[in-house]
Amino acid sequence: MHYRLCFLLVATLASAQERITIDAGTLIDGKGGFRKNQQIVIDGSRIVEIRPAKGKSTYDLHAFTIMPGWIDTHVHITWHFNAQNILVNGREDPASSALYSAENAYVTLMGGFTTVQSVGAPMDASVRDRINQGSLAGPRILTSIRQINNMTARPDPDHPASVEALREYVRKTKADGADLIKLFATAGMGAGGAQTLTDEQIQAVCGEAKNVGLRAIVHAISDAGVKASVLAGCTSIEHGNFVKDETLDLMAERGTFFDPNLLVIHNYIDKKESFPNIRDFKPLQDALEPTAEVFEHARVHHVKVVFGTDAVAGAHGRNAEEFIYRVKDAHEKPMDAILSATSVAAESLGLADRIGTIAPGYEADLVAVEGNPLEEITAVRHVVFVLKGGRVYRNTR
């Protein structure tokens, strides 16, 4: 009897500690809804109830707007500048790489992003695992660990990779612990963005990814590269700056996700001196307008647009600037931009039933901002509170 009482008492204390309530002045649920004066009840790492606010709460955020923790589907968490503010492009000591990556993860979480997809470097996996163990503060990370391009798995410098070698490479990447596959179907913007893998090679990579249960996301700048990737059944198109309307229709028809990005272009242009490896900024400058237009066309053609910033050095922690570029330059509705970074992004990651929505059963990932981004999008710059998996990481009200 005595033992039983003690046990009950301990259990009650434990759940009392774990159960927290948060009052939200405005709650944006990540599914297109918003409500005033709500209370979110959280037990452990999960949301258990949403109810009208009443009584005293653990965290009174009635002066703020609460959203699901934001999701960035395209970052490079290891990229950073050195102490002289220049891109580290090549070798450095492993301790610096590790510490800068941890720092990037930390500032990303503080900036309101509770999940990111990093695409990808071998170090990503270590950062991901340390964060999952709870010993490092950072967003939940999904990573491709490496990138597949036209130099990957070649038998020698004069011959392209065989379809079988690429399939093998996908299987190895999965075995090494990747959460997804990242491939380059085209060259970069500066190099013209033309298709660099054959249709058969793209089919091999995306097809094998599917076979082993991984998603495949594709860097594709030109329309031809995008089209080949959509037809190959790849999961998501990254960038797609010059995609044509008929290819957007194809994406809508096939359910291909689309991840155009503006912050990355601005980040390069605004921090020119930090990127001495880029000789000509004109292609980037010239891509700004077509990229903003691509967002508008994608919406008209009902494509599922996710939220990826392609955050490289200089952009970590500022991921939310993408919201502002989208609304101000690409004329997105604030609610559409928020949906992109919440439930739609979650769906693209295969996590639609776990994150990206404030509802019972979902992970308790929340971000609170000063002001209301539905009225003034720059509110996303004013993050005051970040909760990930029920744990408070930022509380700077």
Residue nearest Zn ion (C-beta atom): 310
Contact 235, 257 (CB under 8 A): yes
Between β-strands 366-370 and 59-68, what pairing exists: parallel, antiparallel or unpaired? antiparallel
- Residue (73 or 201) nearer to Zn ion, CB: 73
Nearer to Zn ion, 188 or 371 (CB): 188
Minimum distance of Zn ion from residue 264's CB (angstroms):
7
Question: What is the CB neighbour count within 10 angstroms for residue 52?
Answer: 9
What SS3 class is residue 65?
A: strand
Helix-helix angle 223-231:199-211, to 10 degrees: 40
Shortest gap between Cβ of 184 and Zn ion (angstroms)? Answer: 9
Q: Which residue lies nearer to Zn ion by CB, 310 or 332? A: 310
DSSP-derived 3-state class of residue 21: strand
Q: What SS3 class is residue 49?
A: strand
Bridge partners, 38 (sequence order): 24, 52
Q: How far is the CB of 308 from Zn ion (least distance, A)?
A: 8
Nearer to Zn ion, 223 or 310 (CB): 310
Shortest approach of Zn ion to residue 152 CB, angstroms? 16
- Phi first, then psi: give them for residue 285, nearest 5 degrees: -55, -45
- Number of residues interacting with Zn ion: please give it, by CB under 5 A: 1
Least CB distance from residue 310 to Zn ion, whole Å?
A: 4
- Cα separation of 265 and 249, whole Å? 25
Binding mask 295-314 for Zn ion (x = CB under 5 A): ---------------x----
Number of helices (H) and strands (E), helices first, in the chain? 12, 15
Q: Which is nearer to Zn ion, 28 or 180 (CB)?
A: 180
Does residue 259 belong to the site contacting Zn ion (CB under 5 A)? no
- Minimal distance, residue 278 CB to Zn ion, in Å: 14
Q: Indicate the residue among 24 and 263 with the shorter CB distance to Zn ion.
A: 263
From the CB of residue 9, how many other CB atoms can be counted at a distance below 10 Å? Answer: 10
The residue count of the chain comes to 397
User: Which residue, 258 or 385, has its beta carbon nearer to Zn ion?
Assistant: 258
Min separation Cβ 119 and Zn ion, Å: 6
User: For residue 44, is the peptide bond before it cis, meaning its omega torsion is within 30 degrees of 0?
Assistant: no
Round the CA-based radius of gyration of the chain to a whole number and report it: 22
Binding site for Zn ion (CB under 5 A): 310
